[in-house]
Amino acid sequence: MKKRRNILACLCTVFLLAGTAAPSFTSQADSKADKIQDSIKQKQSAIGEAQKQKQALESGLTDVKKLVQELENTKQNLKDYVEKLDKNLDEIEAKIKELKELISEKEEEIEETQQSLAESMEVEKEQYAAMKKRIKFMYERGQTFYLDMLFTTDNFGDVLSRTEFIEKVAAYDRKKLEEYQETVAQIETFKEELEAEKLVLDAAKESVEEEEAALNALIASKEKEIKNYDADISNKSQVVREYEAEIAAQNATIAALEQAVAAEKKQLEEANRPKYDGGRFKWPAPSYTRISDDYGNRIHPTLGVQQFHNGVDLAAPSGSPILAAYDGDVVAADYNGSMGNYIMIDHGDGLYTIYMHASALYVSKGTHVTKGDQIAAVGSTGRSTGPHLHFSVRLNGSYVSPWNYLSS
């Protein structure tokens, strides 16, 4: 073991003097990463343009939907108005029916009155004819008719009776004639009144029918407007569907582009991950080469039991610089009860280096470091017996000997 440490000391001196190593990223890898980055930018630009188009489509869709709603509201108002007009029309039709019934009644009354008038006129005519006949008879007989009636009897009482009879007949004829004439006049007046009432009803019916016709025309006009609104709504609804289809297409385009960007970002992340190229590690504690405890089985200095030691302990004064052994990304910079302040660096291809018991940490998680960068200071934090750097190497999840990378 002592001989091995002497050899290691010589090797460490060589490492300190050498200081050269192969680059961790090849120009080919850089070119691939640049191409991926350019592709991502192009797709992100396309996503931005697609989102602008989508926003414009959504704005247009909102406007068309608003217009459709306004058309629907106007159409509904028209339907409500037509419904109100239909009720008015029902009332007008009921009124027309009522007027028709009244006119029919008046026509029947006029017909009955006409018949009564005809009968009365016929009676009057007959009475007038009989009276004319008597007058003619008396006129043709002259005074002898009355004298014969008066003097064909020897009884004075009979003479008086006959005289009175003649007067009564004449008075009766006059009275009947006057009665019939009055009846005819009354019937004619009643007929005229009925006809006047019928004219009023006819005029009212005509007026209401005109109102009905105007209302029907208005309803037909409004129903035509409703059909026009239906057609317009149908056209605008088709526009809505077209907008929605275009928006869906934009969403699909955006989703496809975002998926492609996510995949390329993953590729870029993979391309940008450290790639260990087999180069040699830089000695992590410059100027200090004393190995206080080596990799392998040992008696634990604080626990006093045999235990596997997963790294190399490099004795150095507290505050001495700790350097990154190789290029990589810091994946942990934290404190642990056993490791104290520690740093873990990912060098790619499953290779990690760990630096424990530091007094101070100068990098944080996510920092990219280059071989030889100072990352911490030697200390004695955590489970430690004195200032030193515990340097470990992990490969694919298992600790391996640091000498595989620190020596040829």
Say whether 30 sits in a helix, a strand or coil.
helix
- Residue 151 burial by CB count (10 A; 0-12/13-18/19+): exposed, middle or buried? exposed
Are 325 and 354 in contact by the 8 Å Cβ rule? The answer is: no
Structure confidence by residue, pLDDT tens digits, 233-281: 999 999 999 999 999 999 999 999 999 999 988 888 777 777 787 889 9
Per-residue pLDDT band for 335 (boundaries 50, 70, 90) equals: very high
Say whether 384 sits in a helix, a strand or coil.
coil
Please state whether beta strands 296-299 and 306-309 pair in parallel, antiparallel, or not at all (unpaired). Answer: antiparallel
pLDDT of residue 111: 84
CA angle 367, 372, 377 (to 5 degrees): 75
Length of the chain: 408
Instruction: Indicate whether 143 pLDDT > 70.
Output: no
More confident residue, 35 or 342: 342
Listed range (46-55, 56-65, 112-121) with the worst mean pLDDT: 112-121
Instruction: Indicate whether 25 pLDDT > 50.
Output: no
Give percent of the chain above pLDDT 70.
82
Region for 23 from its dihedrals, namely left if φ exceeds 0, alpha if ψ lies in -120 to 50, beta otherwise: beta
Structure confidence by residue, pLDDT tens digits, 60-90: 999 999 999 999 999 899 889 889 988 888 9
Its CATH class, for the domain covering 275-408, is: mainly beta
Measure the CA–CA gap between 115 and 121, rounded to whole angstroms: 10
- Listed by start position, the domains of the chain span 75-240, 275-408
> What's the whole-model pTM score?
0.51
